[in-house]
Amino acid sequence: MVPTKRLISLFLISLIYLLIAACTASAGIEKANAITETALPTNQVEEIHRIGIRQINGSGEFYDLQSGEQFIPRGVNYVFVPSGSSNTTKLLKVGVYNPRRTRRDFGHLAELGYN
């Protein structure tokens, strides 16, 4: 049988360890919050996005906040595959990337209604 003084000592040591762990965890959370708060820029004005979400007859839809009109997102996966190439990831490769071609392609996509 464990003597009472030894049992009380073990209990107090365990309690001290728990208190230290709780204080350390709390200090870590406060430090993380302080880092998050100081990392955010204070001189930036929060911009309101032009596209919003609303419900019409129980269905969600995107809409233009300025005009109130429904907004339908249309997009593409833009890749450049040179003829005779087996690799499809050459869009930004040095020596292959062509900014004029890319601007022209995006202009054409805009003409087709892609946003």
62 and 96 in a common domain: yes
Q: Which has more pLDDT, 96 or 16? A: 96
Strand (E) or helix (H) holding 106: helix 99-111
> pTM of the predicted model, to two decimals?
0.41
* pLDDT > 80? residue 15: no
Assigned domain for 46 exists = no
- pLDDT score at 40: 53
Strand (E) or helix (H) holding 50: none
- pLDDT score at 62: 94
pLDDT band at 54 (very low <50, low <70, confident <90, very high): very high
Range of the structural domain that residue 80 is part of: 51-111
60 and 30 in a common domain: no
107 and 55 in a common domain: yes
